[in-house]
Amino acid sequence: MDLTHINDQGRAKMVDVSSKEETLREAEAYGSVYMKRETLNRIKEGTIKKGDVLSVAQVAGIMASKKTSDIIPMCHPIMISGCDINFNLNFDENKVEITATVKTTGQTGVEMEALTAVAAAGLTIYDMCKAIDREMIVSDIMLMKKSGGKTGVFERKR
């Protein structure tokens, strides 16, 4: 299998997508921020001194999805048509679960935008809570599903 991001000299290149068909493309990514129970309780209660953790993390994730090509070198700038971030407070495992869904109609997918949204949301949660819990772990960032384009549908087996 040829690597699409390598040129004839063996160096990195941005893939030419000009001949690809424009299709509706969607990607969903997931991640977790593990933390102390007390930290999770304070997020739920809204008593973190920096403010509403999940609201700020949601905005950070959306902003990051729109700026993915600025921080991931071989990503194409994409006009995103939608980005949604959802959180689940999982008290059984002491973590905040993050899910990002990104959509576009274009010549390339939005997997990296969804993954970047999750990462930025997770890092924002860490930043807002680090004063009370420096042992948090931002983890489990993965693509859950994607649709559109030549390769069609991918769905991670859960």
Please give the span between the terminal C-alpha atoms of the chain, in angstroms, as a whole number: 27
Catalytic residue among 2, 52, 84, 127: 127
Residue 127 appears among annotated catalytic residues:
yes
- List the catalytic residues: 127
